[in-house]
Amino acid sequence: MSKLSRSDKLAILADAAKYDASCASSGSVKRNSAKSGGIGSTGGMGICHSYAPDGRCISLLKILMTNYCMFDCLYCINRSSSNVRRAAFTVQEVVDLTLDFYKRNYIEGLFLSSGIIRSPDYTMEQLVEVARRLRVEHRFGGYIHLKTIPEADPDLLKRAGQYADRLSINIELPDDESIARLAPEKDGKLIRRTMGNLGKRVREAKAERKSSRKAPLFAPGGHSTQMIIGADASDDAKILTTSNGLYGSYGLKRVYYSAFSPIPDASSNLPLQAPPLLREHRLYQADWLLRFYGFSVGEIMQGGTAGQLDLTIDPKLAWALQNRARFPVDINRADKESLLRIPGLGGKGVGKILQARRFSGLRLADLERICQSVKKILPFITALDWHPGKQLDSVNLYDRLKPPPEQLSLFGV
């Protein structure tokens, strides 16, 4: 397809892959390739791109097989009608690149996606074959994340899960109407059905592994998706409602949010300007509250206006300011759920508080050793030697707790 050099292809296809945010290594397993004489491990250290749950730094080669594409998704720089420089790797070129980069200690794994060429099945076959050669022929024990194509044969997706640590299918937009309008070749119902099938296989494989460690792996890092923010008129409430449904119905590991970036020769159906990057950041914070802090979408949106999150302050603080009657919280008596709702206090801090107060009552000096920033939590707690008094009643509390203008300006706000 192309007479470009391998380095030219790498420059084009690595740049084309940057628009996909659903690239993370959490949930990977350590494949002991050393015992079988293979190479690669998810346990080493290299260039920092993402982190596993235990804090290990995972570096990934993130590329497309090709940026040629049959589909004409209006928001995509690689759409069929786009006038961009095109390139394509062969299967062996991707395998060689991955191994070369690993041996130089540049990476510890591969994130591989692709435009759709010839057919969804043909494209998926190419992705699977890369993973198969790495795992089987080269005994590669590093991390592999494959982007799957919902229109492809289910058997190909099953094979992909046998070789990859994580699979992902991008839903792209928060509702089916937007998908039909901006990505006419895609089908929201089919995407969700494929997500459901992948989720079922991941759960079944985990159950089998509990019964027998010899049971085959299937995407042990689970599956994820991405939504583009700001390409359609969906507000934050709609986006979070969609994410919450995906987590609950399909067992997704992560929903990634990617702020829409205006592209050359764009359709008139797309906005002229990108949304503030801070909106993407606030959605990630809100997503965290959904998954780990017991918040509902309705509670999170209490601190916003007209279906949008407050960009000035984080969503937990926004909720707390709307629910001042629930504060202050006694850090020496409150249950875990109440502690998790205190602005500025994270899961690790809550765990340390619960552990420390088993032995003695906590004072401010104790909190200073436990928390990263005591100042932020002071208006919302009581301790043995602290009570916020009338701070919670102050009309100026919002202004006192919001980040300084120079910090917000980093996000274009």
Is the pLDDT score of 331 beyond 90? Answer: yes
Last residue of a domain, one of 250, 275, 300: 275
- The verdict on 242 and 311 lying in the same domain is no
pLDDT > 70 fraction of the chain, expressed in percent and rounded: 89
Confidence class of residue 23 from pLDDT cuts 50, 70 and 90?
low
Distances (CA, A) of 242 to 256, 279, 287, 390: 12, 16, 11, 39
Q: In this structure, are residues 324 and 392 in contact, taking their beta carbons and an 8 Å threshold?
A: yes
Residue 54 lies in a domain: yes
Residue 93 lies in a domain: yes
pLDDT one-digit tens code per residue, 180-224: 999 999 999 999 999 999 999 999 999 998 888 888 889 999 999
pLDDT > 90 fraction of the chain, expressed in percent and rounded: 65
Q: In this structure, are residues 44 and 34 in contact, taking their beta carbons and an 8 Å threshold?
A: no
- The verdict on 154 and 189 lying in the same domain is yes
Token look-up 């690149």 returns 97
pLDDT one-digit tens code per residue, 59-89: 889 999 999 999 999 999 899 998 899 999 9
pTM here? 0.88
Confidence class of residue 268 from pLDDT cuts 50, 70 and 90?
confident
- The verdict on 79 and 219 lying in the same domain is yes
- The verdict on 309 and 167 lying in the same domain is no
Q: State CA 71 to chain mean position distance.
A: 24
Number of domains comprising the chain: 2
Mean pLDDT score, 368-380: 89
pLDDT one-digit tens code per residue, 75-134: 998 999 988 999 999 999 999 999 999 998 888 899 999 999 999 999 999 999 999 999
At 214 the pLDDT is 86
Residue 1 lies in a domain: no
- The verdict on 104 and 224 lying in the same domain is yes
- The verdict on 260 and 249 lying in the same domain is yes
DSSP structure string for 149-169: -TTS-HHHHHHHHHH-SEEE-
- Residue type, position 27, single letter: G
- The verdict on 266 and 286 lying in the same domain is no
Of the ranges 51-60, 269-278, 292-301, 329-338, which one carries the lowest mean pLDDT score? 51-60
At 159 the pLDDT is 96
Last residue of a domain, one of 227, 251, 275: 275
With a CB cutoff of 8 Å and minimum separation 6, the contacts of 327 are 320, 342, 379, 380, 381, 392
Half-sphere exposure of 383 (CA within 13 A, CB side): 17
Residue 249 lies in a domain: yes
CA dihedral 213, 215, 218, 219 (to 10 degrees): 10
Q: In this structure, are residues 124 and 157 in contact, taking their beta carbons and an 8 Å threshold?
A: yes
Is the pLDDT score of 337 beyond 90? Answer: yes
pLDDT one-digit tens code per residue, 29-48: 444 444 444 444 433 322 33
- The verdict on 248 and 289 lying in the same domain is no
DSSP structure string for 248-313: HHH--SEEEEEE----TT--TTS-SSPPPHHHHHHHHHHHHHHHHS---HHHHHTTSBTTB--SSS
Domain extent at residue 256: 6-275
- The verdict on 266 and 314 lying in the same domain is no
- The verdict on 298 and 205 lying in the same domain is no
- The verdict on 252 and 343 lying in the same domain is no
Last residue of a domain, one of 245, 275, 305: 275
Residue 267 lies in a domain: yes
Residue 147 lies in a domain: yes
At 262 the pLDDT is 83
- The verdict on 269 and 281 lying in the same domain is no
**Using CA atoms, how far apart are residues 177 and 307, in angstroms rounded to an integer?**
19
Of the ranges 16-20, 251-255, 379-383, which one carries the lowest mean pLDDT score? 16-20
Residue 132 lies in a domain: yes
Residue 195 lies in a domain: yes
At 45 the pLDDT is 29
| Alpha helices (H) in 85-187, listed in sequence order | 91-103, 120-132, 154-163, 176-182
Question: CATH number of the domain that 132 lies in?
Answer: 3.20.20
